[in-house]
Amino acid sequence: MVTTRATAEDRAERSAVRTLLRLWPYVRPVRLRLFTAAFVAIVASCLTLVIPLVLKWMVDGPVADRDPAGVWLGALYLLLLGVAEALLFGLRRWLVARPLAGVEAAMRADLYRHLQRLPVAFHDRWASGQLLSRGTTDLMLLRMFLAFPLTFLLVNGVTIFVGVIIMLLQDWTLGLVILVPAVPVIVTCVTFEKRYAAVARRAQDQVGDLTTVVEESVLGIRIIKGFGRHRSQARAFRELSRTLRGTELRKARLLATIWGVIVTLPEVAIGAALVLGAVQVADGALSAGTLVAFLSTALALRWPVDSIGFLLAMSQEAATATERYFEVMDASPERDAPRRGAGLYQYAAPPRGASSPHRPAAGNDGLRFHNVRFRYPDAPADSPPILDRIDLHIRPGESMALVGATGSGKTTLTALVPRLHEVTSGRITLDGKDIAEMPRDTLRELVAVAFEEPTLFSASVADNVLMGAPDEAGEPELERALGVAQADFAHALPHGTDTQVGEQGLSLSGGQRQRLALARAVVGRPRFLVLDDPLSALDVHTEAAVEAALRDVLAETTALIVAHRPSTVLLADRVALLSGGRVAAVGTHQELLRTNTEYAHLMAGTEEADR
């Protein structure tokens, strides 16, 4: 699998704060509620610091004076402060719950939308599990960070600051004793941040790898069972799980270390302050109420101080989740070329199949490849191109079969027409218009595709087929397309064309999936049709029936058909032989059989295989 992870150097250049600031565009619409929630939490936390002052008043006043009424009044004050604190923290939770769920939903929607716009080359490089983990686990971490650590890093910081001021005002010598651990705690936190960030990133990437294995195992369950590979798959999963477990334990050890330091040093300082304060009370230099208030304030600050460790841990995990999220969002989407002049293509494409004055009018030049070269974007610059100097012309209304040995570049060539990949050099024109200058929406209205490996979605048969039709298409178009593809089996399914075909359409046979994919390609009556060996999974009799119906469709369109069988080749008016990434010969089937040895050898091999 090609790695998709940011390098350590790239990550080192970005602090956690700078990384998390990238969330601001999503947080900005709900900033008022978040700021209000933070203010409410600060008020609630500061109310906690009022309790020691009430205790000081009670000890030095009603308790010292043996005044029961005063003690009961003090107890009432403490009760009211406790209820107010609980209500304020409840209000804070209510303020952040709905907006942060909206932030998560917006980020997930943007990620999904962006994934649809990224080029095929991006999806070829990235494991699907890594993308899934970014859209699920990582976004959950970000929502948790915005709901809790983001607020309480501020709240606890303010609480510690106010608490320290109160303690210094009560007795500055005891206050200095409490502040002694501050420097080692800060140094520990800085060191912890760097180490924990690296381990947190590693763990999240490993979750993505684990997700990939699970997804591939589910989608490939038939292969796993068919070859009895469940044990080896289980071993692979167990190894990845063990690796992830080791990383999570490493995180736990780091967190335990910082928590040990953060908890132990302040506790020692409180103990020292208790001894020193008791001596001062015994000497009459300090009142008992002041010592009680001081220690109560110190104990009230235990939670804000103790929480620093896991708040920093959650913040680092959120920073790495943000980094992983924007690794995808920063990837460049498919872009249309800058418009030259004010021609037809300066406008956005209308809905598929809709009539529009901006949709290119039918021309008379067909599909043409002009000195096209193609090399995959991540291939070395000195590597030979997959396709080299392709010059090919499919005339309007003509069908051309593309024939060649395995690896000759046939599928790659067909992928260039709908711009699933961009040409490295040269150009492709439809009726004289360079496809690089067309909006992709417009181009993909004109060109329909069907691939050898059909992909169906977890939807009904009708929904899958009508994906290739205008929005207003209905039952007549569906029935026509099913008829062309000889996919009438759909009517015999439990709920007819409303039957859900299941994930990847695996509830259907390979031939049935292929016929539905072909129906999807022809349902919109496209001007240009690109078929990548669309009949390879069909039996001989079904193939003959499909070919008979397909002839009428091909008579109304300009088509490029990848073919391996002679019967498929005979659908075409002419044949192009692709050899080593170049067009070796063009002619009719009979002409090439007579004049080209390589073509005759290929056809002889396929005929033998069919027999």
Give residue limits of the domains in the chain.
Answer: 19-329, 361-610
Contacts of 338 (CB under 8 A, 6+ apart): none
Low-confidence ranges of the chain (pLDDT < 50): 1-9, 11-13, 339-361, 608-609
The confidence score (pLDDT) of residue 285 equals: 80
Scored b (16 or more CB within 10 A) or e, 197-216 reads bbbbbbbbbbbbbbbbbeeb
The confidence score (pLDDT) of residue 344 equals: 38
* Domain 361-610 top-level CATH class: alpha beta
User: Cβ distance 449 to 418 under 8 Å?
Assistant: yes
Q: Mind giving me the DSSP string for 368-389?
A: EEEEEEE--TTS-TTSPPSEEE
Token code pair at residue 153: 């890093």
As its CATH architecture, domain 19-329 has Up-down Bundle (1.20)
User: Cβ distance 368 to 392 under 8 Å?
Assistant: yes
Instruction: Provide the angle, in degrees to the nearest 10, between the axes of the packed helices 128-135 and 182-219.
Output: 130
The confidence score (pLDDT) of residue 605 equals: 62
Phi/psi for 562 (5° steps) reads -75, 125
The confidence score (pLDDT) of residue 110 equals: 92
Q: Which of 432, 435, 441, 437 is nearest to 340 (CA)?
A: 437
CA distance 543 to 540: 5
pTM value is 0.74
AA letter at 523: V
AA letter at 108: R
User: Cβ distance 499 to 490 under 8 Å?
Assistant: yes
AA letter at 413: L
